[in-house]
Amino acid sequence: MSTVALHQKYRPQTIAELVEQPYIKTALTNAVKYLQIAPAYLFTGSRGTGKTSTARIFAKSLNCLNTKKPTDQPCGICQSCRSIETSNSLDVSEIDAASNNGVDDARALIERSTLAPVAGRYRIFILDECHCLTGNAFNALLKCIEEPPPHVVFILCTTELHKVLPTIVSRCQVFNFRTLSIQAIVQHLGIVADAESISIDEEALTAIARLSDGGLRDALQLLGQVSLLDEDITANHVMEIAGGVTETELMSILQAISTNNTFNLLQVARLLVDSGKTPKLILSNLLQTYRDLLIIKSAPKEQSLLTGCVSYAQLKVLANHWNFETLNLSLAELQKAENYLRYTVNAAVWLEVCLLNLIPSLLPVSATKTLTVKPVNDKGHDSKLLPAVAANTANLAQIWLSVMDTAKPSNQKLLAHANLVKLQGDKAILEVTPAYLNKFESSKEAIAKMLQRATQSQQPMTVLIKTANKSSNGRVKA
């Protein structure tokens, strides 16, 4: 016998039971109370924020048979309320606009709107995902939505308001459903967990709330999924079942970075990739964690602003190791690497390069300051200061990343097949994949100009191209 999913079992039954959305609750309650019912409503917002649930509740409020007029407290037990809940009402039609999106469907809807309600006061049409309607279908509905029969109410629901014709939007009362806050989701999940006797701690509930992206339906789905585990649920369980990077794994990376332990850092990165975690996911979680560390450093008491999966207690300990500038530099490095991963053909290697680039940024600021030299131009006058380039892989990788950032998207795919291996004076050496050697040879002048801009050099650059050596597994060595 199948069980009812949590998001269906705990669906709100009255306007007052809606989670958050205070202005929408007030407006709809007063509309029912003072009988100011508009001919058409448009509910828009992210998934799982309560659009369809609100449409059903509003329909029950208008057609509840236990009161002589519309009420903001539908009984839920009369024939009308029960049939609306099970989507079997003759007066309330829920239409999937994704599969009934043609002009013929719109004409059929217009014909049905002329019929009087069977049992209730209104004939209500709920068009879910209305943005899927074609342009002709929207145009066919224009007149009916603007001036429907007095007993007809249209409720349009959509997650993509920009796809709805402006002429349709202007004929509706628009209600924007906001994404739910983490605190509201955690509070609601706690109520549901207590009612269902689910053993789960506060940090796990917070992890679910952060993963749900402001959607209560997604949060309840994930809670139902983790409730199948036969043990006390922790934040690590939530991250594992959701396919994310756990707090323990992130702490291993951060501890290796803070102690300059290159071997452990590369080993943890490789284990994460081998376990199925994508480099993009790893960097995204690290980006959130460094952002949280920056918040802890600047506003230690603002726990509500944290978005990562690492607990406040762990973050507070880590924040004592680094200063504000170091964390800011690390954030900038992670952001660059995340953008670069979109175009690289060897994401695992560039993940390791990015992690290694974080180690120098954790040294004292005096040790990471950029040295400068004064290059002299042909006339013997001092030119602008040129950053001195240390002959190490980390700095060369940073320079090549800055070249990538300034290139056009079409050129970034080509540049991803090369590494900057040496930069001395006005000469640069690139290692490229053999298959792209000819393309790089023909683009040397353009690459030289990009390198000149990236290093702020006043002298023309000379670029030398050589093929990269391949390792035993066929990958190009970075």
How high is the pLDDT of residue 2? 57
Q: Are residues 311 and 454 in the same domain?
A: no
Query: Is residue 195 assigned to a domain?
Result: yes
Residue 477 in domain:
no
CATH number at residue 186: 1.10.8.60
- pLDDT on residue 417: 83
What count of other Cβ atoms lies within 10 Å of the Cβ of residue 135? Answer: 9
- Whether residues 357 and 377 fall in one domain: no
- The values of phi and psi at residue 231, to 5°, are -165, 170
Among 334, 368, 402, the domain boundary falls at 368
Within-domain flag for 290: yes
The burial of 445, by beta-carbon neighbours within 10 Å (0-12 exposed, 13-18 middle, 19 or more buried), is given as exposed
Answer yes or no: do 358 and 438 share one domain: no
In a domain, 475, yes or no: no
Residue 476 inside a domain? The answer is no
Among candidate residues 224, 242, 260, the one where a domain is terminated: 242
Q: Within a domain: residue 310? A: yes
Residue 443: per-residue pLDDT: 84
By C-alpha distance, which of 113, 170, 105, 116 is closest to 140? 105
Based on the fold, state whether residues 292 and 405 are members of the same structural domain.
Answer: no
Q: Is residue 321 part of a domain?
A: yes
Dist CA 256 CA 250 (whole Å): 10
User: Is-contact 224 5, C-beta < 8 A?
Assistant: yes
Total domain count for the chain?
4
CATH of the domain at 98: 3.40.50.300
Report pTM.
0.69
Residues 86 and 234 in one domain: no
Are residues 123 and 11 both part of a single domain? yes
Quickly list DSSP for 321-344: TS-HHHHHHHHHHHHHHHHHTTT-
Please tell me whether residues 204 and 237 are part of one structural domain.
Answer: yes
394 and 292 within one domain: no
Residue for token digits 């043990």? 231
Domain extent at residue 420: 373-467
Whether 473 is covered by a domain: the verdict is no
Residues 23, 139: one domain?
yes
Task: For residue 317, give the CATH number of its domain.
Answer: 1.20.272.10
CA gap 42, 161 in Å, rounded: 9
- Does 197 share its domain with 154? no
From first to last of its 478 residues, the chain has per-residue pLDDT tens of: 557 889 889 999 999 999 989 999 999 999 999 999 999 999 999 999 999 999 999 999 999 999 889 998 998 899 999 999 888 888 999 999 888 888 999 999 999 998 888 888 999 999 999 999 999 999 999 999 999 999 999 999 999 999 999 999 999 999 999 999 888 999 999 999 999 999 998 889 988 998 888 899 999 999 999 998 878 898 888 988 888 888 888 888 888 888 888 888 889 889 888 888 888 888 888 888 888 888 888 887 777 777 777 888 888 888 887 777 788 888 888 887 877 777 777 888 888 888 888 885 444 343 333 333 333 344 433 333 333 333 344 477 778 877 887 777 777 778 888 888 888 777 888 888 888 888 888 888 888 888 888 777 777 888 888 886 544 343 444 3
Domain co-membership, 267 together with 222: no
Contact 223, 208 (CB under 8 A): yes
- Answer yes or no: do 24 and 45 share one domain: yes
Per-residue confidence (pLDDT) for residue 3, from 0 to 100: 76
Final residue in a domain of this structure, among 121, 148, 177 = 177
Residue 344 neighbours by CB under 8 Å, 6+ apart: 350, 416
* pLDDT, tens digit, 9 for 90 and up, residues 346-392: 888 888 888 888 885 444 343 333 333 333 344 433 333 333 333 34
Residue 132: which region, alpha, beta or left (left: phi > 0; alpha: psi -120 to 50)?
alpha
Task: Check residue 83 and give its pLDDT.
Answer: 92
